[in-house]
Chain A
């Protein structure tokens, strides 16, 4: 299975890095797209890249609990500074893309990334 790094998907999604530049070489084991943090907790194994349109502080806390390797905010969503500061504490890379959820997931799937169904 292909395990691209977060750095490798930046040009594909034309994403902006919001924090934790030093963590961009983390390999992505798989990806999960959801605005429901409850489902992230239930269905995202360690090392998952999360794509979401939700930008509150709970995205960061859920990611820390669940072992998410990085978060892509889709549809041009931008979290506030408090969210970014918390992500820095947990060394969680946050990125933002103007692409919508479906398009972002499709491009990453095309690259070889899979979801939890394999």
Chain B
């Protein structure tokens, strides 16, 4: 199917892709801070960029802690901010459980860093307008979420 001009304008375009390393607690969170700064620089509403930053930060921590590293992609259209977070990690065996607040498979090291409270995916959901998670055990997970720009 051909895209109309409007479709093409509306489809979020890639702004930047950021690699994230496994277990790199020293720089974990830096991508989200860079994303927040980029969104601030383009003049996005303060609350919107805060929600986007929190959701991205949670996803970034998941990549560092569980996903074996991966990539975060920032995409934008005039009305939509879209984040795509992809890993080739172990996948999530039970997504419903993973979406439950307080459910966690964190290691003691992760908890020592202040994470692993089982708030990651629920907090992403809370801070975005649309969330889609594709996961397959042994093949990895893709988390995509969007926020409406108003």
Chain A contacts to B: CB under 8 angstroms: 35-42, 46, 52, 54, 56-59, 61-62, 64-67
CB distance from B24 to the nearest CB of A (A): 11
Task: Using CB atoms, name the residue of chain B closest to A41.
Answer: B54
| Number of cross-chain contacts by CB at 8 Å | 68
7 contacts between A and B (CB under 8 A): A38-B119, A41-B57, A42-B123, A56-B25, A57-B26, A59-B114, A64-B36
Contact partners of B114 in chain A: CB under 8 A: 35-38, 40, 52, 54, 56, 58-59, 62
Q: Is the interface of B mostly helix, strand, loop or mixed?
A: helix
Contact partners of B112 in chain A: CB under 8 A: 56
- B117 sits at the interface (CB 8 A): yes
Chain B contacts to A: CB under 8 angstroms: 25-26, 28-30, 32-33, 36, 46-47, 50, 53-54, 57-58, 112-120, 122-123, 126
Q: Is the interface of A mostly helix, strand, loop or mixed?
A: helix
> With the chains together, A39 CA to B53 CA distance in Å?
15
Q: Are A61 and B30 within 8 A (Cβ)?
A: yes
> With the chains together, A31 CA to B117 CA distance in Å?
20
